[in-house]
Amino acid sequence: MQRQRTLRSNVSCVGVGLHSGKEVRLELKPADVDSGIIFLRTDLPTRPKIHATAANVTATLRATTLEENGAKVKNTDTKLGLRDLAYPINDETKGFYVVLKVSADETALYQFNRKVKINPAVLRHLVTIDQE
């Protein structure tokens, strides 16, 4: 049986929504035992919670969509999340994989890199630039 794991501390970033083009804030927080992954839609007035469970999957064409309490989260990637690391990092063998696609100027990218490097909750990160 695999042990449950959670984050040591909060991790957050700000970027631009992939489809909306609006500024978004992503915050990952440590979770209680057996809580699973829960998305909180703070952009909606009722702040609904959406649990990442098979029962809440409403579409899988071109992207996975979760829906609960009248709210949706699109483009959740089941290949990410908690996974085995290729090799131990700081005595950790598992880690949360997250992909963020953002539009940012050079200054914002520099600030993001600086903050991520000093955040103890982030084991490794990689920034790539689209050459579109």
Q: DSSP readout, 42-95?
A: TTSTT--EEE--GGGEEE-SSSEEEEETTEEEEEE-TTSEEEEEEEEETTEEEE
58: its two tokens: 């409403």
User: Taking Cα atoms as reference points, which of 102, 99, 130, 73 lies closest to residue 15?
Assistant: 102
With 0.75 as the threshold, say if the pTM is over it: no
**Under 8 Å between Cβ of 127 and 110:** no
pLDDT recorded at residue 46 = 92
**Under 8 Å between Cβ of 86 and 77:** no
Domains and CATH numbers, the chain: 11-118 (3.30.230)
Q: What is the mean pLDDT of each run of 10 residues along the chain (132 residues)?
A: 74 75 82 84 88 79 70 63 79 76 71 80 77 60
